[in-house]
Amino acid sequence: MALDQATIAKRYAVALFELTHDQNTDAATLAELTEVRTVLVENPELTKAIESMRVPESAKKQMVATLSDGTSQVVTNLLQMAYDYRRFSNLPAIITAYEALVNKAEGVVYAEVKTAVALSDEQAARMTAQLANRFDAKEVKLTQSVDENLLGGVVVRANNQILDGSLATKLAAIRQSIIR
């Protein structure tokens, strides 16, 4: 039975996190992996070439070695393992899953906030404090955007949750309660 990308990413990320967390190298490893992910995402041809049957094995190994150049032994080992087990296309997802584990351990939550109008600095500060309290986070990194399709209210995406306090959702709930 073939595993899906999310399962693969989680397994590799957990193993990597357990290793780096024990060594207190989470932040340094994450910084290196973030650079690797950027290279892979900006150059999708690289992953295709490494997974291609048409590219000679020696050229593939050289590409992996070049990508690993200057990285820690842990990151080098991860890249080599991904290559050896034909999981190179899963690396961006593995890195993202690892990033989530590091952020959770450090108490960092990333939140996307959509509103009908831009939040003032005071409103953003209150939103950050409320989200930190809700998610028991030490730090909340807020990304704000204005969505003119919202009539009012706010929609927050954080920790794989959507908190929908938009006016449209509230009106829909009222409409449903009236219909019942």
Give the chain's domains with CATH numbers.
5-104 (1.10.520.20), 107-179 (3.40.30)
Tell me the average pLDDT across 103-119: 91
Check pLDDT > 60 for residue 133: yes
The pLDDT mean for the chain works out to: 91
pLDDT > 70 in the chain, percent: 99
Give the sheet arrangement for strand 153-158, strand by strand: 139-146, 108-115, 153-158, 161-166
State how far Cα 171 lies from the chain centre.
32
Give 84's contacts (C-beta < 8 A, 6+ positions apart): none
pLDDT score at 164 = 86
Determine contact, residues 15/94, Cβ cutoff 8 Å. Answer: no
Rounded to two decimals, the pTM is 0.78
Q: What is the largest CA-CA distance in the chain?
A: 68
Question: Is a pLDDT exceeding 90 seen at residue 132?
Answer: yes
The pLDDT assigned to 5 comes to: 84
pLDDT at 2 over 70: no
State the pLDDT at residue 38: 95
What pLDDT, on the 0 to 100 scale, is given for residue 165? 85
pLDDT of 180 higher than 80: no
Burial of 51 (0-12, 13-18, 19+ CB in 10 A): middle
Banded model confidence at residue 4, pLDDT cuts 50, 70, 90: confident
Q: Once rounded to an integer, what is the mean pLDDT over residues 124-142?
A: 92
Q: Which amino acid is at 147?
A: D
> How big is the chain, counted in residues?
180
Rounded-to-integer distance, Cα 46 and Cα 68, Å: 13
The span from the CA of 110 to the CA of 31, in Å, is: 17
97-119 burial, b at 16+ Cβ within 10 Å, e below that, comes to bbbbbbbeeeebbbbebbbbeeb
Q: What digits encode the pLDDT tens for the residues 8-38?
A: 999 999 999 999 999 999 999 999 999 999 9
User: What pLDDT sits at residue 1?
Assistant: 53
pLDDT at 72: 94
pLDDT tier at 116, thresholds 50, 70, 90:
confident
For residues 62-77, average pLDDT: 94
Please, which pLDDT band fits residue 53 given cuts at 50, 70 and 90?
A: very high
Provide the pairing of β-strand 153-158 with 139-146: unpaired
User: What are φ and ψ of residue 154, in 5° steps?
Assistant: -145, 145
